[in-house]
Each structure stands twice: as C-alpha cells, then as structure tokens.
Amino acid sequence: MSSFYDHTHTVFGHHKSKILNWIFSIDHKRVAILYLFTTMAFFLVGVAVALLMRLELFAPGQQFIDPDTYNQAFTLHGTIMTFLFIIPALPAIFGNFLLPLMIGAKDVSFPRLNLLSWWLYMAGASLAVFSLFWGEGFADTGWTFYAPYSSTTGTNVVMALTAAYILGLSSMLTGINFVVTIHRLRAPGMTFFKMPLFIWGSYSAAWIQILATPVVGITLILVVLERTLGVGIFDPSKGGDPILYEHLFWIYSHPAVYLMILPAFGVVSEIVPTFCRRTIFGYKSIAISSLLIAIVGYMVWGHHMFTSGMADWAKIVFSFLTFFVAVPTGVKFFDWVATMYKGSIVFKTPMLWVMGTIITFGIGGITGLVLGTVGIDIHVHDTYYVVAHFHYTMFGGVAFMLFAAMHYWFPKVTGKMYNEAKAKVSFYLIFIGFNVLWFPMFIAGFLGMPRRYFDYLPQFEIYHQIAGIGALITVAGIFYMIYVLIKGARKGEKAPDNPWGGTTLEWQISSPPPLENFATIPYVDFEPYMYKDGKPVIDISDQLKGIK
Amino acid sequence: MSVHGSTEVQKYAYDKNGKPHEIVDFADDYIGAKLGFWLFLFTEVMLFSVLFITYMFYLYNHQADFIEQSGGMNILLGGINTVLLLLSAYFMGMSLVSMKQNNVSKSKLYLILTIVSAIIFLTIKYFEWAHEFHIGIYPNSEKLLAMSQGANLFFGLYFTMTGLHAIHIILGIGVMLWVFTKMRNNSINSKHYIVLENTALYWDLVHLVWVFLFPLVYIIGL
C-alpha cells in the first residue's frame, strides 16, 4: 500500500528532487513532519543554551560566560522555547497531522496557506538565528522584551521582535486554517460533540491564536517603531507608559500559555481512554472546559503585573479570575482520573507519560494558584519559584504531552514500532531528571533566589547544584528518547494499523496513512471512545481503506 | 486548480438508511474560503483595536494636548480623503455586483475606479505628511520634542495609525491589481468570484478603520 511518503501534492507540480517534494508539499502530513524536524531542532538548541546556563550557575561567580552573555542566553532560551518550540509544537506538528485524519477529511481547508505557515516559521526562525551573529548579538531583554529597556539596549532587539512578529503571523494563519477546517470539513454526521477531544483542544487553541496573536504583533511593532523612528508610545520621556507595554504583551502571552496547554490536554484525553479501554468519563465536560479555559484565560493577564503598579481592586479581580481557570482544569483532571478508575490500565509508554504529567502538571497548576494569590505573589514574584512553576506546567505539561504524542502516534506516522522497554527507560530518566532539576527551584525561589540573575549568594549553591545534576539527567534522557525513536523509525518492527486499540478514525486506516487519507469518507454517526469488553466497538476500516 | 490526485471526487457519504449527505470538497469550498477570510479580518480588527485602545488611553491622560494638536490638522484634506474612501468602497461593491451579474467589463471598470481613488487618497496623504515634515513635525524631531508630552503622543499615534492604514491601502492596491489580472484571464468570473468578494471585504475593513480614525485625528479638535 503506498503511503504519503511515496506520493505527494506540491505547490509547483511534480519535482524530481526529493527535498523539493518535501519543502513544497501541501499535504498536511508532510507539512507536519517538516514542523516536527524543525521545531525539534530548535528545541535541542534551546536545551543546549539552558544547559550552558545551568553549568554556569553550578557555582557562584563566573565560570564559562560573562554576565552580558548570560543575559543573552536566557533571552535566547526563552525566545526559542516559546516562539519556536512550544507554541508551534503540538498544534503545528500533531494538529496538522491529526486534524484531517480525526475528522475524516482529506486535508486542511487551505493546504497552500498551511505550507506558507511553515515557510513563515522558517523565515522568522532564520531571522532570529541571524541576529545572533550580527552587531552586538542577540537581544538581552528576556523573552518578554519589556519596555523601556527593550527600546534602549544596544543588542539586536529589532531583529528578534521582527522574527517574533513573523512567527506570530505563522501561528495565526495556522489558527485560521484549523478553525475553518473544523467548521467545514468534518465528515458528514460528525457533530461537534462527536469530535475527538484532541480536536476540541486544538479548536480552542486555534481561537486563541486568532484572537490574541495580533495584539502582541502590533505591540512588538510599536517597540520596533520606537527603536527605529523614536515614536515613543512606551517611552516615559515622551509621555509614553511602559506599563501599557506590559499589559499589551500579557494580553497575548498569557492566553498563549493556554494555547500551548490545550492541545496537550487533548493528547491526554486521547491516550487515557485508549490505555484504560474505557469510554472517557464526562466527554462533554472535557470538551466544554477547553473552551472555558480559552475564554477565562483571556482575562487573567494582569496576574503577571501584581508588582508593576495596578489598582488594588484590579489585582483582586485578576487574582479571582486566575483562580477560576483552575475550575475547568480541575474538571479535566477529575474526568481523566475517573476514566482510569476501575479501568484495566495498560502501562505502555504513552500512558506512562500521561501519568507523569498528571503529577508534574498537578504540581505546576497548584503552584500557579499560589502565584495567583496577590499577597504571596508580591513575595515570590520574579524568583525561581516562578521559573519552577513555569517549567512544571510548560515542560511537565506541554513538552511531556508532546513526547507522549510522539510515542502514541509513532506507529501511525512512521508505520514502525519503537522499542517499548527502552522508551520506558527514557521516560523514567526524563521524569526523574525533571523533578531533580526543577523541584529545588521552588525552595530556592521561596527563600528569595531571584530569576535571571547571573550570580547568587552562597546559601543558594546547594539548590543550583542539585538542579545542575537534574539538568544533566534530563538532557541524557532527552537524547536517549530521541535515539530510541530514530532507531524505531529506521529499524523498528512493522506496526499494525491499530497497535493500541484506539477508537478515533486515524487508527482505522493504514500506517502510515495514504495520500488524501481516506479512500471513502464515512458517515460518522458514532461517538469516539466506545469500548466493549476491552475492544473498540466501531470498525469501519474496510470502508475507510476502500476495501469492499 | 484542483489539488486532487484522483480524478473522481466523492460527493456523498451515506448513513444507515442510505440517505446521502454532502461532503465538502476542501479544494473548492466557497463558504470555507469566506469564513477563513472573515477570521483574517477579525485579526485585523484586533490589530487596530490595540492602537485605538492605546489612543483612548493617552487621550484620557492628555486630553487638552490632544484637542489642541487635533485643532491644527487640515480637516479639509482629511474630509476629502474620507469621502474618497467612501466612494471607493462604493466602486468596490459595484465591481462585485457587476461580476455577479456577469458584466465583466463593468466590473473591471469599477475595480479600476477603486484603484484610482485609492491612489488619490495616498497622494493627498503624502502631501499632508510632507507638510508636517516640512514644518518639522515628525517622530523624534527637535520641534516635536520641545512640545508637550501629549503632543508627542498625539503625533506618534497619528503617524503610526495613519501609516499602518496607508500600508493597508498599498497592500490593497497590490491585491486589486492581482485581482484585475485574474479577471483578465477569466479565473475570476461570474461563477467563481470568491477572491473578488474577499478583496471587497478587505477594502471595507480598510475604509471602516478610516471612518474611526478620521474623527479621532481631525474632529476632536473642532
């Protein structure tokens, strides 16, 4: 059976060159794989920069890099990880790959626009990399680019901001594409409440991409105008208000963390029923809570600015709204646990990752509530406590679920199986390393270790050293995981169409899927996640593959 | 322009009772194309909203300065431009209506009239800006820096907002020229006019932004 690796559609007709057939392909699965390789490459760069900082902080004083380089390093790390890795990772890789497969469509609504998004991503990424080697090097403002420092520092802020703007455009176009695809291309009969939950997560995330990204886009442009022309919207000497920058920045960047996590929650909702062999508990509540998180998440940005100067009543409103986000999130967690309850859980690697993330994201989420409390936030604001919280949610939530997805859909994407035992080892390595790396930061932060500092007092040395060891374990685990996956893709056993007993449509076609996915588009009058006696109830694979 | 590999496109899926249900073809979906463009316009609205909110915020803080500076603007030129854009939106709409009625030459004529009025708009805009530059008012100029903070913010926002709006006009002209070539080679016709329709929607947004910009810049100082 020929797969999408053998044939493709491109923008400019057929090419002889294999590379051109990839970078001009408008097939959603190929675009997804382009994103997979590029985002993972940047992830490794981000990891390398982080490791450099951890090694530098292993002892007080200067070891390898000077303070200015350190400032550039944490800016580079933050910019790469947010704009080049974690925002595009789940929507652009797995959203692209799975969206049409799960809703029974042949492609996304705008395949050319989809490819353009990847090209824009590459353009933004190249510009960011280029700015490393130009003039005074990469920006040293932190990935938040706070004014007025960002409009006065001598480093390449304009290039970094332009890159972020282009990346935002790419993310926005992906969002538009997904919303239209979900509205228009669901297979006949598939109502919104018959969609897989990963689609619900991607749908909510796509709306955030559409609504919030333009806000940060124009804000970054205003900083560019300030640096190049001296317009002065955020310049206090010209009457501008730097706090306004912080508001506008966080109006995007706080919803952005929900746009990162919502598809990750979707991944959990796919994996849990499959490995528990049970219908998911509270399908509708999970679906609607995704939308609720997206809506409420839009109104909580002020909690980043409790120490920046804001009316007390505004702080209380923002604090209360922040607590409220925990409600739909908690609904999801209880639904997942209720699904597991009395299920015959199969602990394959994807399920292990989910179990891991229920612990790490649980910690990350609850410490988020601590930070959302006005009084406590004044104490721990801009300390390692925030760094630890952020990584527990973003790495322990989003990246963990990206890794889970990489294992769960591995057979579907590659048509091969990875080595289960080795994959489990890589999970335990990363999980243990992760906790050793970031848990001490909660304590250090609570004791007063500020974030983004090049040097520290001797009493914090022990926490930095434990974290340094954790970093080494984590990095070893990441490389081992990548090795196991690459080896699986090259030399693994051939995968069956449905190795895990999944119920969504992508498991009922061949692995890897053929070009245009389905021989026949079905009429979907059934819900996902239906199991009986530990087996999926619906089997329409013959119809989908065109076998009469 | 099909991206389908197979020549045959499945049109219907059948439910249990054998009833046919239409399948939306992703390569030829009029409603999808329009929905996507509306979402894009939505992002544009968000983009300009940020600037309008910023304007509102600074107007609130520096009311007297804003009103004083607005009083010095040339309301005649701004007014002519407003009428011009309103006219151009009419031309654009008529171009679409004519295309739907299969009157291609009339549609082309109206599109050209739209382009011409957009160019006149930009020309007038150019003279306005040139005048301000001539008397020494531009971001970071000595004269402006010597003026009040409110004046700095007013002109900062004025140049940013009218500048961004002008960029949208320029992009619009580019798109309309592209649409014109598509009309000539008949890929936009009375059956497939979605590109023209979306261009018209875009043009309405550009003109709508100006409708709000005009009173904020020119009228509040009256």
CB contact under 8 A, B140 and A229: yes
Best mutation target among A109, A112, A216 (most B Cβ atoms within 10 Å) is A109
Nearest to A105 among B26, B42, B57 (CB): B26
Query: B59-84 b/e with 16+ CB inside 10 Å = b?
Result: beebeebbebbbeebebeebeebbeb
| Mean pLDDT of the region B48-60 | 96
What pLDDT is recorded for position B7? Answer: 52
Query: B129-157 b/e with 16+ CB inside 10 Å = b?
Result: beebeeeebbbbbeebeebebbbbbbbbb
Minimum CA–CA partner of B19 in chain A: A523
Q: What are phi and psi of A25, to 5 degrees?
A: -75, 140
Nearest to B36 among A109, A189, A248 (CB): A109
Specify the residue for token string 């374990």.
A473
What pLDDT is recorded for position B221? Answer: 85
Which residues from chain A sit within 8 angstroms of residue B5, using beta carbons? Answer: 7, 9, 515-516
Nearest to A214 among B26, B43, B149 (CB): B43
Minimum CA–CA partner of A232 in chain B: B156
Nearest to B5 among A9, A179, A520 (CB): A9
| Mean pLDDT of the region A137-151 | 91
Which one-letter DSSP state was computed for residue B23?
P
Specify the residue for token string 């995968």.
A495
Which residues from chain B sit within 8 angstroms of residue A110, using beta carbons? Answer: 36
Q: Are A501 and A536 in contact (CB under 8 A)?
A: yes
Nearest to A109 among B32, B156, B157 (CB): B32
Query: Using 50, 70 and 90 to split pLDDT, how confident is the model at B165?
Result: very high
pLDDT of A333-360, one tens digit each? 999 999 999 888 999 999 999 999 999 9
Which residues from chain A sit within 8 angstroms of residue B58, using beta carbons? Answer: 239
Minimum CA–CA partner of B38 in chain A: A176
- Calculate how close chain B gets to A519, using CA atoms only, in Å: 9
> B194-214 and B149-184 helices cross at what angle (nearest 10)?
160
Rounded mean pLDDT of chain A? Answer: 94
Name the residue ranges covered by the structural domains of chain B: 40-219
CB contact under 8 A, B140 and A219: no
Residue A450 β-bridge partners: A383
Which residues from chain B sit within 8 angstroms of residue A175, using beta carbons? Answer: 39
Residue B123 has pLDDT above 50, yes or no: yes
- Collapse the DSSP code of B180 into the 3-class scheme (helix H, G, I; strand E, B; otherwise coil) and give the result: helix
pLDDT of A66-122, one tens digit each? 999 999 999 999 999 999 999 999 999 999 999 999 999 999 999 999 999 999 999
- Calculate how close chain B gets to A547, using CA atoms only, in Å: 15
CB contact under 8 A, A187 and B156: no
Q: Which helix (H) or strand (E) holds A474?
A: helix A461-491
Query: Using 50, 70 and 90 to split pLDDT, how confident is the model at A459?
Result: very high
What pLDDT is recorded for position A1? Answer: 63
Q: What are phi and psi of B21, to 5 degrees?
A: -125, 130
Which residues from chain A sit within 8 angstroms of residue B9, using beta carbons? Answer: none
What pLDDT is recorded for position A11? Answer: 87
What pLDDT is recorded for position A548? Answer: 64
Spatial neighbors of A497 by CB under 8 A, at least 6 apart, are A507, A508, A509, A510, A511, A541
Nearest in space to B195 (alpha carbons), one of B208, B210, B181, B213: B181
Nearest to A244 among B24, B36, B57 (CB): B57
Q: What are phi and psi of B205, to 5 degrees?
A: -65, -45
| A511 backbone φψ class: left, alpha, beta (φ>0; ψ -120 to 50) | beta
CB contact under 8 A, B40 and A522: no
What pLDDT is recorded for position B25? Answer: 87
Q: Are A427 and A480 in contact (CB under 8 A)?
A: no
Query: A89-105 b/e with 16+ CB inside 10 Å = b?
Result: bbbbbbbbbbbbbbbbb
- Calculate how close chain A gets to B211, using CA atoms only, in Å: 20
Which residues from chain A sit within 8 angstroms of residue B152, using beta carbons? Answer: 232, 238-239
What pLDDT is recorded for position B27? Answer: 83
Query: A57-82 b/e with 16+ CB inside 10 Å = b?
Result: bbeeeeeebeeebbbbbbbbbbbbbb
Nearest to B54 among A181, A214, A233 (CB): A233
pLDDT of A222-261, one tens digit each? 999 999 999 989 999 899 999 999 999 999 999 999 999 9
Nearest to B23 among A177, A231, A521 (CB): A521
CB contact under 8 A, A210 and B152: no
Give the integer Cα–Cα distance in Å for A420 and B170.
57
Structure tokens at A79: 């910019």
Give the integer Cα–Cα distance in Å for A43 and A108.
26
Nearest in space to A239 (alpha carbons), one of A144, A157, A148: A148
- Collapse the DSSP code of A157 into the 3-class scheme (helix H, G, I; strand E, B; otherwise coil) and give the result: helix
Q: Are A329 and A264 in contact (CB under 8 A)?
A: no
Q: Look at domain B40-219 and name its CATH class.
A: mainly alpha
Residue B2 has pLDDT above 80, yes or no: no
CB contact under 8 A, A189 and B54: no
Give the integer Cα–Cα distance in Å for A383 and A173.
35
Q: Higher model confidence: residue A509 or residue B27?
A: A509
Percent of chain A with pLDDT over 70: 100
What pLDDT is recorded for position B28? Answer: 86
What pLDDT is recorded for position A2? Answer: 84
Q: Look at domain A18-545 and name its CATH class.
A: mainly alpha
CB contact under 8 A, B159 and A218: no
CB contact under 8 A, B10 and A111: no
| Mean pLDDT of the region A380-405 | 96
> A400-408 and A461-491 helices cross at what angle (nearest 10)?
20
Nearest in space to A54 (alpha carbons), one of A543, A465, A546, A505: A465
ipTM of model: 0.93
Nearest to B13 among A187, A230, A239 (CB): A187
CB contact under 8 A, A176 and B150: no
What pLDDT is recorded for position B141? Answer: 92
CB contact under 8 A, A239 and B150: yes
| Mean pLDDT of the region A379-386 | 95
Query: A395-409 b/e with 16+ CB inside 10 Å = b?
Result: bbbbbbbbbbbbbbb
Minimum CA–CA partner of B6 in chain A: A516
- Calculate how close chain B gets to A239, using CA atoms only, in Å: 5
What pLDDT is recorded for position A10? Answer: 87
- Calculate how close chain B gets to A125, using CA atoms only, in Å: 22
Which residues from chain A sit within 8 angstroms of residue B50, using beta carbons? Answer: 214-215, 218-219, 248
pLDDT of A185-232, one tens digit each? 999 999 999 999 999 999 999 999 999 999 999 999 999 999 999 998
CB contact under 8 A, B42 and A210: yes
Residue A465 has pLDDT above 90, yes or no: yes
CB contact under 8 A, B153 and A232: yes
Which one-letter DSSP state was computed for residue A301?
G
CB contact under 8 A, A189 and B21: yes
Which residues from chain A sit within 8 angstroms of residue B10, using beta carbons? Answer: 520-521
pLDDT of B94-121, one tens digit each? 999 999 999 999 999 999 999 999 999 9
- Calculate how close chain A gets to B149, using CA atoms only, in Å: 5
Residue A371 has pLDDT above 90, yes or no: yes
Nearest to B47 among A185, A217, A240 (CB): A217
